[in-house]
Structures are given as structure tokens and as C-alpha cells.
């Protein structure tokens, strides 16, 4: 590479610029960027909090200047020309890219990725030229291709940034005029403030000159390589190579910047229309649904992928207006037009981020039958990881994929008592982040199980430190959510289905990073991690294989396990499947036979008789009264067509009358199996049942709705009296139960004497057995017991029950009795619910209407007492799980856009505020609330 001797004063300026900026930046990096930015980004990437690209860019933000300083001390120490070329041709562009990617570009879209790849190729090529002619080892065609890429990159970056040069320069000088020397008195008391100010101002100067210096260096290098290629390859071949590179980039620019959202919105606009019965609803072939998803996701995540919108971008025009108070001249308009074209990869094709995001979410839910947060959590989390937005501390729908809280230990203790047992499960939870997080577990237990305890602790020697209270479900939920918003410690255990439960705990204490002080600077960190202990207790009976059933996970949020997780059963290590929360069962130590049990619940004697002989197995009986078989016609059921076909085939083999309906907004009788294309939209089970009931023309033995796991978050608010319906059964195909139901659905299932199953024959058998064993005193039938009530409960029997000590089976009997009372009483009457809750509270158990909550402060307990007196104490809200993420701002919109000097002031103010915060705090930590 040619090196001409520079005049002394120019050489001195080159040295000063390179070393002044790099050394001040090195000080800033050591005391601020590395400990508070780079290291959190790296550790966050390891635990899944940030993306790998974020960690890489945060590392390069420190590593590149360090590498350049090393090169300046060694290879280029005596070459000021090479130093300034390294600074402007390699280091500054990389720093600019890293800052832009991390704070402006966030998640990279295809168009921006193309631009960045070209920039990286150009930087590599220029560094190879700078590195003693390393590029001369490449073939000539490759050298010319790299040089052409450098030329295109330099021209693109210069033309993209040049429109801001005039207003930014004016703003910079205005900024200098606003800095008063009298204000520097306090700054000199804090050396780091001065360093930040100097570094910020010098960086502004460097960035202002960057487009012009960059294009000068890259054009100069291209012309040099062109002359060599012209002589070596010939002008025709050299021209063909450069034209090929130009054409390839032009094609990629046009193709990669095609955005799908507007076409998607146009195709899905029919979702906003109201169709009358009999009108044809437009359909879109299933093979095109992936394209629809991409369009909706791009619109939903637009603030994370683009800087502004095509219709609201007026950054250059506003910059002129801010600098000169007059932007009507031609230069501003021409500059804005040039910028609009070149900035296409950075601009979203639309008008408003917020409106298009809401439209995308609405269309997704209507068409794909679930909230977009539930259907596309991976895409949303990837976008969030590209920023430093940690989202809400509450566990939402997208948190099913988050790995914030590690379960380090799960200790299972089984205390058998004949054919029943008390089982305790203690989870040790460790937060892997520096933020408060909630954990949520949806799980199922058999019908013959009862949840009887919940504890929270921060002390391994006192796992029962904070004890549960049994409270009305609505009051418990209200207090829990209020405390989560205050970031104080509660835990909540609720029944959200016939066999489904929801366990929530907040906050799992975050990590703390304590910074040691030396000479006024924070040097080094000491990390502290404080675990939380979450304990659940339940009583259960043996399963069909003679083992103790354990909770089965339906969904988790924010929690995860790894090879570090230890599981024990009565103190002994156990193994489970890699993706399993817990084993399916805990083995018995000895063979035990089922026996008859007697218990007294709220003064009522209850007897449980094991099902044996003919009672143990029930064959489906012929029926002339028809069963109504409803098929959920919503979109998600399209994946269950094979299971629907199998269920209907089983139905045809049974000697029972039936009628089959396919239900969307209306239920229509069908004779043939519906095709996958016939499943569409977000018609909801309660709406389908309501429509079927309105149009039913005869009596039915039962109504059985074939559905999938569904979407609890969007279930209908429609409700109607169970007396108007035959027994309602929800048959969940595909092997997955719904993880929760709305309370209106629970009431309908219970009071219509229906239930939930995972196969159609199971639903028919259970229904027939319940109604076929009508006899005096029989009030419930479960898989292993017949349940009888004795109207003549004696005081002696109740006395004996108390004197005999704790009977584990009595909790199971209490749950069955409460289920019966809820089926036969008017649960719309609050006084009836109070009676049921009083029994649950006396028996220390979770039911449909009573939840367990752990509170740690007297203020919280007083708040619960007040909530328990409210008229809506049993009204529970739906936990939608939808989080309000803080979307990045529209950087180029007309309003509000800071003036050029305001951008500079904001940057400097940010640095100064950061140092001020560090000076006032001896610890950089998010303190966990005391448990």
C-alpha cells in the first residue's frame, strides 16, 4: 500500500485524533461499558435473556477499540497515515454499526441484514488492504469484487448520512454555544463526567466527518484496485465483474426489502366484516397460511425491526426545520427524498406502528384461533432479546419459552397411610437474572386428589416459614395481582378446571451484583443468588398401577430445569425424562389393597366404597335417546382431523343414537367427515354450545364437544343456565387437556353433571355409569370409588372421626362432597358460595371457589380481609397473559423528533446521569423484596 510522508502538523493531528479518542473511550469502557453493559449482555445471552447477537455486539463494542489500540502501539505505531485509515476506515464504522444495531435497529430484518453484510465485507476488504497488502494474495477477480463492494458500501453510507450533515453541523455548533464554562465547576469534581463529556463531543465530531472520510478512503482504494484489474484482466472483464456486483446488490436490495404485511392485511380484511347466515365467507388455502403469519408477525414486531414508517418518516426535513427554522427550500425536500429511498431497509411499509400492531394481533386471533403472543412466542422473544426490554415481571404468554428461573431441586416426600398418602413437593427456585420474575405452573391431578397446603420460604431450614390462607377465589386473585404490581412477595394456588390447577409465585429474588470500591471507582463484582422455596401438599389415593400419582405439568412460564436440577423421593435421588417436570408416579414401598373409607365432612357422613366386580368395568349400553356430537370448527382443530376421524369411527361402532354437528358461528348437521379446510376462525366452545342450544329441536342424552386444548385466554363470556342443557362433556383430542377454563365454563360442566375427558368412549362410559347407577345415597362416582352419603350421621361417628387422628382420605372425601354440593346448590347465590367456602376453609383445601394464598406482611393480610368482605369476592378475572411491552419509539416520525443539538445533549445527559447514579449508590443491584 502506498504511504507518502505527511507534513508534521498533519501527522501530529492524526496521532492526536486516534489516541485522544481511543484512550478516553478506553477509560469510559473500563468504568461504565464493560461492567454495566457488556458483562450483563454476555451473561444474559447465556441464560437466554438476550440474543447471541446482542452479546456479540456488546463485546465488539469494547474489543474493537482495544484491538485498534493494540495495532496502534505495534504495527502502525510509526505510520500516522495507516492510523487514521484504521480509525476512519475500520474502527469508527464498526463502532457506528454496533451502536446502531443495539440501540436503533434491534432485530435485523432481511434488508438491513443485506446492508450490514455488505458493510462487514467492505470493512474486511479495507482492513486486508491496510494490513500490508494482505489482499494481494487473493485472486484478481475477488480483489476487484471486494473493492466494488467497498465502493458501493461507501457510497451508500455517505449518501444515507450526508442529508443530515448540514443540520447536524449547525446543531453541533449550537450545542457548543449552550455549554457554559460556569457549569463546569461541578464537572471537575467528577473526573468521569469530564471524560464522558469530552468523549461525547469528540465522537460527535468524528461521526459528522465519517461519511465524507469513509467515501474518500473507499473510492481511493477502489480506483487503485480498478487500475490493477484493468491491466491484469482487461477492461471488459473488469467491467463485467463490477457490473455483476452492482447488479447482484441491486437485485438483493429490491427483493429483500419486499414487506408482506400490506398484502396480508388486504387478504384478511374480510375478518372485519359481518356475514349473515348463508353468506359465503372467503377462504384462504392452508398452504398460504405461513405467508399470512409472516405478514402479521412483521406488522406486530415492526417497532423492533424498523426505525420508522414510510408515511411518517420526515427525519431530514425536520432536521432542517430544527436547525434553520425553515424547511421549505428545495434542498430539504430533495434530501428527504434521497434519504427515503436509501433508507428503505430501515422503514416499515405503513403509516403507524401502533395501529398496525393492533390490527395484526386482531387478525391473528380471529384467523388462527389464539392470541399472537401464544402462537408466536419464539418470534416475539427473539425481538425482545434484541433489546434490553425485560418485559413485565408477571409471567405472560410469551414466557412459556423464557428461561429466567432455574429449578435447582425438587424434593418429593410421600407419607403413606393405607391406600392414601400425603405428598409434599418442595421446589427450590433460583432467579438467573437481575430482575424480579414470576413463575407459573399449570398442572393436573387425578379426581381422587385434594390440594391441602402451600408454603413459601427463603430459609432452607424453615420451609413452612410463610403459611397459606384459604380465601374466596376472587379476593385471593385480587390481592395477589395487587401485590405483584407492587413487587411484593405472594404466592397463589387455584383450581382452574375439574382436574387442573394454577400455581404462581412472585417474586423469585433476582441476582445481586455488589461492586467493590477502590479509589472512587467500581472494580470487580461479587454475585449473590438467593433461592426461593415453594412447597405444595396434596392428598391422593392409589392409581390403577398401585402407585402414587404425581402432578403432571400442562404449562410453565419463566421456569426451567436442566442437568443441574436434582430430584429426590423421600431423600433418595430419582431420574425422570429429560423434558419432564416430575415423574408420572411415585412407586409404593409395599402392595396395598383399596379399602372402604368413612369420613365426616361438615357434619355429613361420607362413605367411599371401592369399585369392584361389575362396578370396576362398565360397557357402553345401547341408547335410543340421541347424543349430540359437536365438532369444534375453529382453526386449531384443523390439526386434529385424524383424531376427529378416529373418534367418529369409534362412535359408528357403538349402538347409540347420535347426531353430528360442525360448529362455527352456527352449528350445522353433517353426514361426512369435515376436511381440514372446513376448520377456520376463532369460534369459541361456549358460543358453539349456546348456538346449538338455541336451535336444538329435541331432547338429547348428552352433548359432547370434540375440541382441542383450546385457548383459555380468549374463551367467550357467554353464559347460560345448566338447567337448559343436557350434561355437557368437553372431549379434548390430541392428548392435551386445556390448562385452564373460565369460571362460566366450570359452572356449566359441574351443574350440568358433565365433565372433561380425552376420548369420546371415555366420556360416554363415564356419563352412562353415573346415570346408570342411580341408587339411594350414591352422590358421586370416581374412577376407583362409589361415594355414598349417610343421612343419619351420628354425633358418636363424628366424635370418633376427630379422635382417630388425621385421616388423609378425609380430605379427598371433603373434595367430593364439596363437588356434590356445588352441583346441587345455586352457586349464583353468594351465600351458598360462602357456605361452600367455609367448608373448604375448615378442611384446608383448594376448590373451584376457594384458593390458597401466601402473604408475608400484615398489610397484605389486612388487604385480604378487606377483599373477603366485598360482594365480588368470588368473581375471578381471566388471566389473559398478554403483556404490554414497551415498544421502541418511532425514530423518524414527524412528532416528536428532537432537534440535532437535542440528540447530542440527550446522549451526553444519558452518560452523565449514568455516572451520577453510580456515584450515589455503593451497590448496583435490584434489591429483592424481603420474604
Query: 635, exposed or middle or buried, with CB in 10 Å at 0-12, 13-18, 19+?
Result: buried
pLDDT for 72 equals: 87
Report whether 558 contacts 402 (CB < 8 A): yes
pLDDT for 89 equals: 84
DSSP 33: I
pLDDT for 47 equals: 63
What is the rounded distance in angstroms from the CA atom of residue 218 to the CA atom of residue 834?
80
Q: How many helices (H) and strands (E) does the chain have?
A: 29, 30
Phi, psi at 580, each rounded to 5°: -95, 140
Give, in order, the Cα–Cα distances in Å from 214 to each of 46, 76, 88, 217, 339. Answer: 36, 19, 6, 5, 18
Share of the chain above pLDDT 70, in %: 82
What is the number of other CB atoms lying within 10 angstroms of the CB of residue 657?
13
pLDDT for 274 equals: 78
Q: Work out the average pLDDT over 50-65.
A: 80
What is the rounded distance in angstroms from the CA atom of residue 929 to the CA atom of residue 729?
44
Indicate whether 918 pLDDT > 60.
no
What is the rounded distance in angstroms from the CA atom of residue 606 to the CA atom of residue 450?
16
CB under 8 Å to 255, separation ≥6 — which residues? none
Pairing mode of beta strands 572-573, 490-495: unpaired
Phi, psi at 595, each rounded to 5°: -135, 170
pLDDT tens for 725-738 read: 899 999 999 888 88
Mean residue pLDDT of the chain comes to: 82
| 3 state DSSP class of 430 | strand
Long-range pairs for 798-802: beta carbons < 8 A, 24 or more residues apart: 798/600, 798/603, 798/605, 801/598, 801/599, 801/600
pLDDT tens for 613-670 read: 877 777 788 888 899 999 999 998 988 999 999 999 999 888 899 999 999 888 889 9
pLDDT for 904 equals: 42
| 3 state DSSP class of 675 | coil
Q: Work out the average pLDDT over 258-277.
A: 88
Task: Work out the pLDDT band at 207, boundaries 50, 70, 90.
Answer: low
What is the rounded distance in angstroms from the CA atom of residue 504 to the CA atom of residue 509?
14
Please calculate the CA angle 494-449-787 and round it to the nearest 5 degrees.
120
Q: What pTM was estimated for this model as a whole?
A: 0.82
Task: Work out the pLDDT band at 526, boundaries 50, 70, 90.
Answer: low
What is the number of other CB atoms lying within 10 angstroms of the CB of residue 74?
8
Instruction: Choose among 159, 144, 125: nearest CA to 245.
Output: 144
User: Which of 65-69, 529-533, 626-630, 891-895 shows the lowest per-residue confidence on average (mean pLDDT)?
Assistant: 891-895
Angle between helices 191-233 and 92-100 (to 10 degrees): 110
pLDDT tens for 78-113 read: 888 888 888 888 888 888 777 777 677 778 899 999
pLDDT for 199 equals: 61
The DSSP element (H or E) to which 408 belongs, if any, is: strand 405-417
pLDDT for 522 equals: 43
What is the rounded distance in angstroms from the CA atom of residue 282 to the CA atom of residue 276?
13
pLDDT for 487 equals: 67
| 3 state DSSP class of 660 | strand
Indicate whether 260 pLDDT > 90.
yes
Indicate whether 756 pLDDT > 60.
yes
Which range, 3-17, 43-57, 470-484, is most confident? 470-484
Amino acid at each position: 500500500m502506498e504511504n507518502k510522508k505527511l507534513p508534521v502538523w498533519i501527522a501530529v493531528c492524526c496521532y492526536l485524533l486516534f489516541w485522544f479518542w481511543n484512550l478516553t473511550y478506553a477509560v469510559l469502557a473500563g468504568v461504565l461499558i464493560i461492567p454495566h453493559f457488556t458483562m450483563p449482555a454476555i451473561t444474559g445471552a447465556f441464560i437466554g435473556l438476550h440474543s447471541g447477537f446482542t452479546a456479540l455486539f456488546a463485546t465488539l463494542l469494547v474489543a474493537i477499540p482495544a484491538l485498534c489500540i493494540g495495532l496502534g502501539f505495534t504495527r502502525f505505531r510509526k505510520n500516522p497515515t495507516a492510523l487514521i485509515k484504521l480509525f476512519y476506515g475500520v474502527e469508527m464504522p464498526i463502532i457506528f454499526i454496533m451502536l446502531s444495531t443495539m440501540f436503533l435497529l434491534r432485530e435485523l430484518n432481511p434488508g438491513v441484514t443485506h446492508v450490514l453484510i455488505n458493510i462487514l465485507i467492505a470493512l474486511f476488504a479495507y482492513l486486508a488492504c491496510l494490513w500490508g497488502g494482505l489482499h494481494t494474495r487473493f485472486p484478481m477477480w475477488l480483489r476487484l469484487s471486494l473493492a466494488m463492494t467497498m465502493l458501493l458500501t461507501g457510497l451508500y453510507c455517505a449518501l444515507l448520512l450526508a442529508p443530515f450533515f448540514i443540520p447536524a453541523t449547525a446543531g453541533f455548533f449550537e450545542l457548543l454555544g449552550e455549554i457554559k464554562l460556569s457549569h463546569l465547576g461541578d464537572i471537575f469534581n467528577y473526573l468521569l463526567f469530564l471524560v464522558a463529556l469530552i468523549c461525547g463531543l469528540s465522537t460527535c465530531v468524528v461521526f459528522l466527518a465519517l461519511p465524507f472520510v469513509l467515501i474518500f478512503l473507499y473510492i481511493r482504494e477502489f480506483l487503485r484496485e480498478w487500475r490493477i484489474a484493468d491491466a491484469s484482466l482487461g477492461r471488459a472483464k473488469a467491467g463485467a465483474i463490477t457490473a455483476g456486483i452492482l447488479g447482484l446488490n441491486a437485485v438483493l436490495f429490491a427483493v429483500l426489502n419486499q414487506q408482506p404485511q400490506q398484502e396480508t392485511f388486504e387478504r384478511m380484511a374480510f375478518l372485519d366484516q359481518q356475514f349473515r347466515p348463508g353468506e359465503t365467507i372467503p377462504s384462504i388455502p392452508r398452504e398460504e397460511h405461513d405467508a399470512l403469519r409472516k405478514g402479521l408477525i412483521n406488522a406486530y414486531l415492526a417497532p423492533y425491526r424498523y426505525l420508522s414508517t414510510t408515511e411518517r418518516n420526515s427525519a431530514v426535513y425536520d432536521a432542517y426545520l430544527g436547525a434553520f427554522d425553515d424547511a421549505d427550500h428545495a434542498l430539504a425536500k430533495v434530501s428527504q427524498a434521497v434519504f427515503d429511498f436509501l433508507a428503505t431497509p430501515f422503514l416499515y411499509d405503513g403509516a403507524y406502528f401502533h395501529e398496525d400492531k393492533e390490527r395484526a394481533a386482531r387478525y391473528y386471533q380471529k384467523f388462527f384461533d389464539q392470541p399472537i403472543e401464544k402462537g408466536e412466542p419464539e418470534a416475539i422473544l427473539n425481538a425482545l432479546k434484541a433489546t434490553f426490554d425485560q418485559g413485565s415481571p408477571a409471567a405472560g404468554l410469551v414466557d412459556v419459552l423464557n428461561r429466567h428461573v432455574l429449578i435447582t431441586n425438587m424434593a418429593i416426600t410421600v407419607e403413606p397411610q393405607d391406600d392414601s398418602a400425603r405428598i409434599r413437593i418442595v421446589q427450590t427456585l433460583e432467579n438467573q437474572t437481575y430482575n424480579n420474575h414470576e413463575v407459573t405452573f399449570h398442572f393436573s391431578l387425578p379426581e381422587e386428589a385434594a390440594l391441602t397446603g402451600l408454603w413459601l420460604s427463603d430459609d432452607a431450614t424453615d420451609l413452612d416459614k410463610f403459611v397459606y390462607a384459604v380465601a374466596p377465589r376472587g379476593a385471593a386473585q385480587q390481592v395477589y395481582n395487587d401485590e405483584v404490581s407492587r413487587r411484593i412477595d405472594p404466592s397463589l394456588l387455584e383450581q382452574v378446571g375439574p382436574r387442573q390447577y394454577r400455581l404462581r409465585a412472585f417474586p423469585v429474588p433476582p441476582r445481586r451484583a455488589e461492586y467493590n470500591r477502590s479509589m472512587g471507582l467500581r472494580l470487580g463484582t461479587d454475585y449473590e443468588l438467593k433461592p426461593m422455596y415453594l412447597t405444595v401438599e396434596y392428598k391422593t389415593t392409589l392409581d390403577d398401577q398401585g402407585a402414587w400419582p404425581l402432578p403432571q405439568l400442562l404449562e410453565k412460564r419463566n421456569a426451567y430445569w436442566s442437568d443441574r436440577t436434582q430430584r429426590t423421593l423421600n431423600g433418595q435421588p430419582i431420574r425422570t425424562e429429560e423434558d419432564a417436570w416430575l415423574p408420572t408416579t411415585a412407586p409404593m414401598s409395599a402392595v396395598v389393597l383399596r379399602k372402604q373409607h368413612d369420613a365426616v365432612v361438615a357434619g355429613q357422613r361420607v362413605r367411599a366404597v371401592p369399585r369392584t366386580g361389575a362396578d370396576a368395568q362398565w360397557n357402553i349400553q345401547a341408547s335410543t335417546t340421541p347424543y349430540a356430537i359437536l365438532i369444534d370448527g375453529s382453526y386449531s382443530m384443523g390439526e386434529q382431523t385424524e383424531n376427529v376421524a378416529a373418534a367418529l369411527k369409534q362412535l359408528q361402532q357403538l349402538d347409540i343414537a347420535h347426531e353430528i354437528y360442525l360448529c362455527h358461528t352456527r352449528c350445522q348437521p353433517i353426514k361426512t367427515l369435515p376436511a381440514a379446510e372446513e376448520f377456520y376462525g376463532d369460534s369459541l366452545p361456549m358460543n358453539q354450545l349456546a348456538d346449538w342450544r338455541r336451535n336444538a329441536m329435541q331432547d338429547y342424552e348428552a352433548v359432547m364437544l370434540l375440541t382441542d386444548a383450546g385457548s383459555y385466554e380468549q374463551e367467550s363470556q357467554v353464559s347460560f343456565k345448566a338447567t337448559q342443557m343436557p350434561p355437557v362433556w368437553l372431549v379434548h383430542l390430541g392428548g392435551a387437556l386445556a390448562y385452564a377454563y373460565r369460571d362460566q365454563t366450570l359452572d356449566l360442566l359441574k351443574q350440568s353433571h358433565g365433565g372433561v375427558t380425552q376420548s369420546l368412549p371415555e366420556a360416554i362410559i363415564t356419563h352412562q355409569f353415573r346415570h346408570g347407577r342411580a341408587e339411594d345415597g350414591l352422590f358421586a362416582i370416581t374412577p376407583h370409588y362409589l361415594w355414598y352419603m349417610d343421612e343419619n350421621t351420628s354425633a358418636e361417628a363424628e366424635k370418633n372421626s376427630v379422635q382417630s387422628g388425621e385421616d388423609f382420605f378425609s380430605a379427598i372425601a371433603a373434595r367430593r362432597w364439596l363437588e356434590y354440593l356445588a352441583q346441587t346448590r345455586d352457586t349464583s347465590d353468594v351465600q351458598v358460595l360462602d357456605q361452600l367456602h367455609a367448608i373448604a376453609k375448615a378442611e384446608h383445601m383448594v376448590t373451584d371457589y376457594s384458593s390458597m394464598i401466601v402473604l408475608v406482611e400484615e398489610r397484605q393480610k389486612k388487604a385480604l380481609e378487606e377483599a373477603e368482605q366485598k360482594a365480588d369476592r368470588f368473581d375471578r378475572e381471566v388471566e389473559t397473559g398478554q403483556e404490554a411491552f414497551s415498544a421502541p419509539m418511532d425514530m423518524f416520525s414527524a412528532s416528536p423528533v428532537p432537534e440535532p443539538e437535542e440528540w447530542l445533549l440527550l446522549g451526553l445527559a444519558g452518560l452523565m446521569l449514568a455516572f451520577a447514579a453510580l456515584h450515589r449508590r455503593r451497590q448496583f443491584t435490584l434489591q429483592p423484596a424481603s420474604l
